[in-house]
Amino acid sequence: MKLSQFALTGMCSLLLLTGCAAPAQRDPQDPFESANRAIFQFNEVADKAITKPIAQGYTKVMPTVGRTMISNFFSNLDDIVVTVNDVLQLKLPQAFSDVGRVLINSTLGAGGLIDLATVAGFEKHNEDFGQTLGYWGVSSGPYLMLPLLGPTDIRDGIGMYVDTLPAPLSRTRPIHSRNQLYLTKAVNRRAQLLDQEKMLDDVALDRYSFIRDAYLTRRQSLVYDGNPPEVKDEDDDFGDTEPTPPAPAPDAHSSLDNPGAGVEPFVAASLVVPSKPCRHSRAAACHS
């Protein structure tokens, strides 16, 4: 059973056991906060005891150029999933661009180790099946914290599983080679977030709430390509508040390319979302 399937199954079981006993929740998007916080604490302990030390050792022994090439390799594989979701969202010019990225980097870029496509002007995009569902109006559903995999919601959890179907890594054989690639990708991604985690420690009074809000905001921005609909506040009826400005567009080069990429600190990447022009608009708004 894949790790994502195991985590989703375990989460469902835990919610069934704790849901009835959960106190009244403060955030309507987080109805399972009691269970989510318990899983969050487990992820924190696992990260501090295992994942973070491994990532720190990895950065010490692996030169920067080596880490960059490994990141490029996995990013090139992810571009295949991105291209599939481009097509599903009817972003055909973007799909052609992403096909070009894969072809250039897979050939001239030594199997993806060198990102020549970006140098050639092919922009890196970020699309996944969770965003595709949101594009077509599927609501995000409740926020979830998955064991080891970190923050997600119902829609993105389904999307995370569906994205494994076209992903080259999931079809790598033999199995032990596939698992080694998964492990290398996870360690490399965790190492990328070591510096961003320091910023998180400096600004977050409640790490759980901060990470939840950052995750939900980032996913909303991703679904709408950086131009989500304005959220009307109750006080707006009285003219006491300003309209909510659009959230900044997500960074296509963020190391958090997919929700639930690993233990909780991975969501620190959602804090870095520089602004760029929106490339897509919808005729009808969908729920976050």
Q: Is the separation of the CB atoms in 112 and 141 below 8 Å?
A: no
Q: CA-based Rg of the chain, rounded to a whole angstrom?
A: 19
pLDDT of residue 232: 64
Q: What is the pLDDT of residue 253?
A: 42
Comparing CA positions, the residue from 71, 99, 74 lying closest to residue 169 is 74
Residues 221-261 have pLDDT tens digits of 999 999 888 766 555 554 444 444 444 444 444 433 444 44
**Phi then psi for 73, rounded to 5 degrees?**
-60, -50
Who wins on pLDDT, 227 or 13? 227
Strand partners, 150: 146
Residue in 95, 91, 113, 92 with CA at minimum distance from that of residue 104: 113
Indicate the pLDDT class of residue 43, thresholds 50, 70 and 90.
Answer: very high
**Residue 264: both structure tokens together:** 């909780």
Q: Supply the pLDDT for residue 244.
A: 45
Q: Is 3 helix (H, G, I), strand (E, B) or coil?
A: helix
Strands (E), 79-203: 143-146, 150-153
Collect all residues with Cβ–Cβ distance below 8 Å to 122 and sequence separation of at least 6: 97, 98, 100, 101, 104
